[in-house]
């Protein structure tokens, strides 16, 4: 029997892993391209507009079902999600998150509204494709002003202990029109229970001098700067990002809370002297940069030595699913 002069080799690719491979490659390639200077913030921001390709991929899968090419639709979906998630994981997520809104903002001023809270107040705000600014002022009165496309303003329901503000268009996170611009001023007097939902667009929320019983913030395809510096007290913090970015300045008062980033980027800035205890998740496509602020890692928890005896203790459950957390970034949280 003669010697064998060659070998035939074959490569078998499991289709179940092919989509994951494409997703992970692109999700990692985009941040690398940004850091290398091949993509700028504007280009990354436009990656969000690729989302209709997900629907196309699903349609292709249905058409090619039970054929040898049935995997093509899944690859389209995986590649699109990889590009979008890669944009969110890049250095600047803010421009990416705002890519769903129109290019301009409504410029017609709407009539200001305002009233006085006579007791502790519950405040609900939902902004769709807009620019929301929240500030604190002395007293018991609140005020809302701003601009939109027709000068009518948002829907507002109010009482002596509650305030509900919502975009009239109700477009949700996939809004495309010109964005509203709201300036909401809240008082220092009453205890505030805040529930803010941002669907696309951006927000800048400064709560210095406020007394907050609970703060819930949901960001869907948006970016937010939240400053709790100077806050008198805050009992509970609950933040959820769904394709969004957050820059959070923590208060110099004790606090417990949860921050969950689903395809999001979170930057945390902590005051000097505050003790931190940060719990992390175990997603393979999440990153946590908690080496600063003197924290010590033990398992899935980063803590300030002597946390339990510190005067100011901030304990947060930080969970990322395809996201990132950074503590005390070089560029700050402002």
Question: Does position 322 have pLDDT exceeding 80, yes or no?
Answer: no
pLDDT digits (tens, 9 = 90+) for 100-130: 455 556 789 999 999 999 999 999 999 998 9
Residue-wise pLDDT tens digits, 63-105: 887 787 777 888 888 888 888 777 766 644 444 444 445 555 6
The pLDDT, as a whole number, for residue 242 is 85
More confident residue, 20 or 167: 167
Q: Which of 230, 189, 199, 23 is nearest to 100 (CA)?
A: 199
Between CA 191 and CA 111 the distance in angstroms is 27
The reported pLDDT for the residue numbered 251 is 98
Q: Look at residues 50, 4, 10, 30 and name the one whose alpha carbon lies nearest to residue 91.
A: 30
pLDDT-derived band at 297 (thresholds 50, 70, 90) equals very high
- Over residues 34-40, mean pLDDT: 74
Query: In the predicted model, is pLDDT for residue 20 greater than 80?
Result: no
Whether this model's pTM surpasses 0.85: no
**Dist CA 81 CA 263 (whole Å):** 10
Mean pLDDT across 296-324: 94
User: To the nearest whole percent, how much of the chain has pLDDT over 90?
Assistant: 52
């Amino acid at each position: 029997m003669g010697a064998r002069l060659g070998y035939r080799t074959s490569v078998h690719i499991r289709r179940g892993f092919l989509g994951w491979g494409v997703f992970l490659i692109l999700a990692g390639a985009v941040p690398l391209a940004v850091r290398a200077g091949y993509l700028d913030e504007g280009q990354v921001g436009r990656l969000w507009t690729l989302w209709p390709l997900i629907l196309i991929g699903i349609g292709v899968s249905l058409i090619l079902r039970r054929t040898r090419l049935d995997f093509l639709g899944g690859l389209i979906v995986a590649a699109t999600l990889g590009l979008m998630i890669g944009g969110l994981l890049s250095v600047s997520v803010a421009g990416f998150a705002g890519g769903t809104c129109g290019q301009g903002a409504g410029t017609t001023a709407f009539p200001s509204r305002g009233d006085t809270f006579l007791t502790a107040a519950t405040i609900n705000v939902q902004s769709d494709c807009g620019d929301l600014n929240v500030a604190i002022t002395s007293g018991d009165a609140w005020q809302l002003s701003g601009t939109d496309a027709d000068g009518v303003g948002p829907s507002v329901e109010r009482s002596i202990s509650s305030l509900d503000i919502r975009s009239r268009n109700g477009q949700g996170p996939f809004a495309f029109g010109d964005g509203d611009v709201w300036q909401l001023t809240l008082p220092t007097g009453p205890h505030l229970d805040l529930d803010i939902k941002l669907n696309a667009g951006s927000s800048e929320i400064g709560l210095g001098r406020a007394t907050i019983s609970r703060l819930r913030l949901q960001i869907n395809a948006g970016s937010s700067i939240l400053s709790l510096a100077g806050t008198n007290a805050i009992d509970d913090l609950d933040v959820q990002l769904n394709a969004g970015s957050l820059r959070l300045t923590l208060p110099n008062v004790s606090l417990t809370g949860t921050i969950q980033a689903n395809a999001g980027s979170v930057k945390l800035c902590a005051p000097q002297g505050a003790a931190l205890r940060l719990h992390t998740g175990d997603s393979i496509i999440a990153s946590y940069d908690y080496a600063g602020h003197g924290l010590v890692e033990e398992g899935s928890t980063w803590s300030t030595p002597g946390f339990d005896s510190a005067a100011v203790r901030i304990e947060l459950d930080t969970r990322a699913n395809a996201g990132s957390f950074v503590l005390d970034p070089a560029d700050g949280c402002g």
